[in-house]
A and B are shown apart, each in its own frame.
Chain A
Amino acid sequence: MPTPATPMSAGAGTGPDGDDPVVVSGLRKSYGPFRAVDDLDLRVRRGEVLALLGPNGAGKTTTVEILQGFRRRDGGRVSVLGCDPAHDRRGWRARIGVVPQSTGGYDDLTVSDVLRHFTALYPRPLPVGRLLEMVGLAAKANVRASTLSGGQQRRLDVAVGVAGDPELIFLDEPTTGLDPAARREAWELVRFFAGRGATTLLTTHYLDEAQALADRAAVIVGGRVVECGPVDRLGAAHRSGATISFRLSRGQSASSVRALFPQLAVDGAGQVSWESTAPTGDLGRLLAWAEQHRLGEITDLQLRRPSLEDNYLRIVAEHTGQPPAADLAGVRAS
């Protein structure tokens, strides 16, 4: 039952969505009473790496599965490479690549058997030899896939995912369970394919991964995108400046410094800290105070800008009502 190849009715450059390979608006999907995806908007630009962040149960997986044509949506508009994934045409599938989270078990096939097999399914595949070189498995071509190390298997997964030379690559938590060296290798691969001009939608739990790989990040909480922008500016709107902290010397009272900074907190160990929206001015006044009280060197004086992780946790906390102390993966909605 051969299906005709997808006619690209409106070329990607001329359609209503312009050049963007992924355009989602008002996406909705419920499981019973649970709204997994609730009015989600997302746009992935051609050639970029976009990281999809968010706690478990926030709707990341459901969204990605809808984009891949694995799940039907309840409502909203979705365009992936100019087509509706729900139509699930073979010609469209040939243009996307998926690297799932789980490592494929290929029993007794060799690495080149596996790649020869998958490239045979695509109209314009990358040659097997080229794929092997790209993922650094050329020396393992005739080794059984089941005997590869974890990092090598992951590289084989990536090779399988990009066998058809896709325009759009879905990477689902590409480094979960990998050791640090294998993680770096996986990152190199992502950069490599991004460098070839492919668009990448990366789902991840790791903020350092998003920071290392992605041009932009979208944070999904409660089934909608609550923040989307360049990774290093994530949470910029929420940024409250910096945290200033130091330690009181033994026997020293906090009362005189509290008179200057009423919002400060002191913990049992004598650690004084407060959030400052004007850290330069605050530091000046603190130093004058130290001078006046002849304190000499202030113990453990620190000025800390919020990290990406701080900002991310703050965004998640704001939209779930959970305290930011909850770990990255801790907020389960289902």
Chain B
Amino acid sequence: MTSSTQPRLLPADFSMRGRSAESGRSAATPPVRPPGLLRTTLARSRVELLAVFRSRQSLVFTMLFPVLMLVILGSIFSGTVQGTNVEFRQVFIAGVLAAGVMSVAFSGLAMNIAVERDRGLIRRLGVSPMPRAAYFLGKLVRVAVTTLLETLVLLAIAVLAFHLPLPADAQHYLTLAWVLPLGTTACALLAVAYSSLIPHAGAAAAIVTPPFIALQFISGVFFPFGQLPSWMQTVAAFFPLKWLAQGFRYVFLPVGFQRVEPAGNWELGHIALVLGIWAVAMLVVSLLTFRWKSTRVH
């Protein structure tokens, strides 16, 4: 027992912490279990959502890019897709919905994580007893809410301005109900894993945006996927955006459109499989490579 622990300048009740100041210390106070995954995930989710909705500026800018794309390109594109009587604009809307998910869940989240790492927030969480998965789950909650919002905004514009017919049966809504969350999860975990490649927040946009734009071109967002060169289709098939767009095409296009899909059908099983593999693989990569330290070295 050491001597110099007499409190020097404090209100009387501060000396009551029967741990380091008093004799009993660790022997007398059994270690208390830190809050578990559920409580800490709720705490993380709360601040994630507070940040999203208090910072309207960042909310607007994250959602703005896909909206602009939809409004501008949706007004330019016309005509039907070759070999079908489906308007290309409708095909494009399905693609933009997928790109919107990726914009929020991948680009937005990867940049958000880069900023939090730069500012030392991640390091602070890393030294706390929080289960580290709580940080990722909080990000999933943040992204789930923002992608849902983004999808609703895009759909509202598509229906009101471009007369997109909404699906009529439960089957299609049911598919939407798993494609959207699965795609969001895959893109978000990709963002978490990808954030390790960003050296500092200033470089985030330069590192995140180019691959995202390239993926949009080769994944059937701007052009009917079936008309792309086959090597491009093959490359795109390795990434989640192609499958996400295909899922949205199933939900929002007539059944007959599957004739011009490269596989000749919607491949719903493949969509689930590829997005699921991405989600699991990126979760593993994230757990192995995520940097809890700041990038700043001195």
Contacts and interface: CB of A to CB of B under 8 A. Distances in A.
A161 to B, nearest CB: 8
B190 to A, nearest CB: 21
A121 B54 contact: no
Contacts of A48: 4
B158 to A, nearest CB: 30
A121 B2 contact: no
Interface string A160-203: 11001101000000000000000000000001101111110000
Contact of B31 (A5, A45, A102, A114): A5
A122 B296 CA distance: 27
Interface in A113-142: 113-114, 117-118, 120-124
B162 interface: no
B1 A165 contact: no
Chain A interface: which size bin?
Answer: 35 or more
Contacts of A91: 31-34, 129
A262 interface: no
Interface in B14-42: 14-15, 17, 19-21, 25-27, 31-37, 39-40, 42
Interface string A191-217: 110111111000000000000000100
A292 to B, nearest CB: 53
Nearest to B9: A195
B293 A70 contact: yes
Contacts of A35: none
Nearest to A31: B297
A69 B128 CA distance: 11
A106 B121 contact: yes
A192 B10 CA distance: 7
A196 B4 CA distance: 11
Contacts of A107: 51, 54-55
Contacts of A90: 34, 129-131
A330 interface: no
B123 interface: yes
B10 A196 contact: yes
Contacts of B39: 120
B298 interface: yes
A56 B298 CA distance: 8
A123 B20 contact: no
Contacts of A194: 8
A122 B120 contact: no
A-B pairs with lowest CB-CB distance, top 3: A108-B54, A197-B21, A195-B8
29 contacts: A1-B37, A2-B131, A6-B31, A19-B2, A100-B124, A100-B294, A102-B119, A102-B120, A104-B121, A105-B121, A107-B51, A108-B54, A113-B50, A114-B47, A117-B43, A120-B39, A121-B128, A123-B32, A123-B33, A123-B129, A165-B17, A191-B9, A195-B8, A195-B9, A196-B21, A197-B5, A197-B15, A197-B17, A197-B19
Given A13-B1, A98-B124, A117-B46, 15 more contacts: A1-B37, A2-B36, A2-B131, A5-B31, A8-B26, A90-B34, A93-B34, A103-B119, A107-B55, A118-B128, A123-B35, A123-B129, A167-B20, A195-B9, A198-B20
